[in-house]
Amino acid sequence: MPEKIDFSKIRFLVVEANPLAAELMVDILAMVGAISIRKATDSDAAMRMMRDADVDIVITEWNLGGKSSGIDLVDFIRHSAQSPNRFLPVIMCTANSEQEDVVEARDKGVTEFLAKPFSVDGLYKRLVSIIARPRSFINSDTYFGPDRRRRQVPISFPDRRQKD
């Protein structure tokens, strides 16, 4: 019997300044079965919501209304003492899709990057990856976030990092 994902168990926060894009994301999540879907139009509101109620997955645009961006939100989640959960999965779903944007987002600790325009399939695959195949976290002097190496390549010698 194949594994399934019950999305009604997952609490989402969608952070998006464009009302139509926000509504589309909420509708797609509702269609796959999500029930708890909160919306924020800027990162300050998102931070408040995360402190007030539990969230399991954040989906954020890079470009937000207000003074701070989606990248600032990722920074808050991963590094702030006020962060409700430093391990919170974050999907950066954005029209900022140049290579340098992807690298910056990854280095800030996003869990998944989804370039706009996105397909339903692309979004779904990232949700599955976050929920069913979570990645290890790396904590170092210069980085805190999901392991940026995608493939786990078997090695024939002791893994120095595991020992550390």
Partner 1 sequence: MARKAQVIPPPDDLKRKAVNFKKGLNLELSESENRKVQGVVESASDRFLTEIGEKLQGVRVQSANLSEGDPAVGDYLDAIRSVSLDIKGMGGTFGYPLLSAIAKSLNDFTKKMDTATETQLSVIRHHLDALQVILSQGITGEGGAQEKDLLGALRAATEKTKNGD
Nearer Cβ to partner 1 (48/116): 116
**Residues 6+ away with beta carbon under 8 Å from 65:** 17, 41, 42
Distance in Å, CB of 140 to partner 1, minimum = 4
Nearer Cβ to partner 1 (81/163): 163
- Are 114 and 93 in contact, with CB atoms under 8 Å apart? yes
* Strand segments (E) across 16-164: 36-40, 57-60, 90-94, 112-115, 137-139, 144-146
Nearer Cβ to partner 1 (53/120): 120
**Residues 6+ away with beta carbon under 8 Å from 61:** 15, 16, 17, 18, 21, 70, 92, 93, 94, 95
Distance in Å, CB of 47 to partner 1, minimum = 20
Residues that bind partner 1 (CB under 8 A): 1-10, 18, 20-21, 23-24, 27-28, 31-33, 56-57, 63, 87, 89, 94-95, 116-121, 124, 128, 130-132, 134-141, 143, 147, 161-162, 164
Distance in Å, CB of 49 to partner 1, minimum = 18
